[in-house]
Amino acid sequence: METQQSEVLLSIRDLHFKFTLRGQVLHAIRGISLDVMRGESLAIVGESGSGKSVLVKTLMGLNDQNGFIESGQILYGGRDLATLHTDAEWQSIRGREIAMVLQDPMTSLNPLKTIGWQIREAVELHQNLHGEAARKAACEMLAEVGISDPERRYKQYPHEFSGGMRQRVVIAIAMACRPKILICDEPTTALDVTIQAQILGLIKEMQKKYDLTTIYITHDLGVVANVADRIAVMYAGDIVEIGRCEEVFYDPRHPYTWALLSSLPQLGVKGQPLYAIQGTPPNLFHEVKGDAFAPRNPQALKIDFVKRPPMLAVSPTHSARTWLLDPRAPKVEPPEHIRALRERGRALRQQGEVTSHG
Partner 1 sequence: MADPREKMLEVDHIRVQFGKKRHPFVAVRDVSFDIYKGETFGLVGESGSGKTTIGRAIIRANPLAAGEIRFEGQRISGRLSAARDRQVTRDIQMIFQDPMSSLNERAKVGYIVAEGLYAPGRHCSEEERRQKVAKALSDVGLLPEFASRFPHEFSGGQRQRIGIARALILEPKLIVADEPISALDVSIRAQVLNLLAALQKERGLTYLFIAHDLSVVRFICDRIAVIHKGDIVELAESEQLFAHPLHPYTQALLSAIPQPDPIAERQKKLLVYDPSCHDYRVDKPVWTEVEPGHFVLGNQRELEGYRKMLTR
Ligand X SMILES: Nc1ncnc2c1ncn2[C@@H]1O[C@H](COP(=O)(O)OP(=O)(O)OP(=O)(O)O)[C@@H](O)[C@H]1O
169 binds ligand X (CB under 6 A): no
b/e map 261-300, b = 16+ CB within 10 Å: bbeeeeeeeeeeeeeebeeebbebeeebebbbbbbbbeeb
Q: Between 54 and 137, whose beta carbon lies closer to ligand X?
A: 54
How near is the Cβ of 190 to Mg ion at its closest, in Å?
8
Those residues with Cβ within 8 angstroms of residue 354's Cβ, 6 or more apart along the chain or in another chain: none
166 binds ligand X (CB under 6 A): no
Those residues with Cβ within 8 angstroms of residue 6's Cβ, 6 or more apart along the chain or in another chain: 37
CB of 252 closer than 8 Å to CB of 315: no
103 binds partner 1 (CB under 8 A): yes
Among 5, 41, 50, 53, binds Mg ion (CB under 5 A): 53
Q: Between 49 and 335, whose beta carbon lies closer to ligand X?
A: 49
Among 4, 6, 24, 48, binds ligand X (CB under 6 A): 48
CB of 42 closer than 8 Å to CB of 215: yes
How near is the Cβ of 193 to ligand X at its closest, in Å?
11
193 binds ligand X (CB under 6 A): no
Residue whose C-alpha is closest to residue 227's, from 252, 251, 197, 266: 197
Using the contact rule CB under 5 A, the part of the chain among 48-56, 73-81, 249-257, 267-275 near Mg ion is 48-56
Residue whose C-alpha is closest to residue 188's, from 153, 154, 224: 224
How near is the Cβ of 16 to partner 1 at its closest, in Å?
18
Using the contact rule CB under 8 A, the part of the chain among 123-131, 186-194, 298-306, 320-328 near partner 1 is 186-194
> Which partner from the list partner 1, Mg ion, ligand X, none does 268 bind, CB cut-off 5 to 8 Å by kind?
partner 1
Q: d(Cα 193, Cα 198) in Å, to the nearest integer?
A: 9
Among 101, 137, 174, 245, binds partner 1 (CB under 8 A): 245
Q: Any idea how long the chain is?
A: 358
Among 25, 26, 125, 195, binds ligand X (CB under 6 A): 26
> Which partner from the list Mg ion, partner 1, ligand X, none does 297 bind, CB cut-off 5 to 8 Å by kind?
none
How near is the Cβ of 185 to ligand X at its closest, in Å?
7
Q: What's the sign of the alpha-carbon dihedral 36, 37, 38, 44?
A: negative
Alpha helices, DSSP H only, in the chain?
A: 52-58, 87-90, 105-108, 115-127, 131-144, 150-153, 163-176, 193-210, 221-227, 245-250, 255-262, 336-357
Residue whose C-alpha is closest to residue 223's, from 247, 241, 249, 243: 249
CA distances from 62 to 56, 57, 82, 98, 153 (A): 9, 5, 12, 12, 30
How near is the Cβ of 216 to Mg ion at its closest, in Å?
12
19 binds partner 1 (CB under 8 A): yes
Q: Between 241 and 251, whose beta carbon lies closer to ligand X?
A: 241
How near is the Cβ of 345 to partner 1 at its closest, in Å?
9
What angle (nearest 5°) sits at the alpha carbon of residue 354, between those of residues 353 and 357? 80
Using the contact rule CB under 8 A, the part of the chain among 149-157, 202-210, 273-281, 325-333 near partner 1 is 273-281
| Footprint (CB under 8 A) of partner 1, residues 330-349 | 344, 348
CB of 50 closer than 8 Å to CB of 235: yes
Residue whose C-alpha is closest to residue 51's, from 71, 31, 74: 31
How near is the Cβ of 56 to ligand X at its closest, in Å?
8
Using the contact rule CB under 5 A, the part of the chain among 49-57, 231-239, 250-258, 264-272 near Mg ion is 49-57
Interface residues with ligand X (CB under 6 A) are: 19, 21, 26, 28, 48-54, 64, 66-67, 163, 190, 284
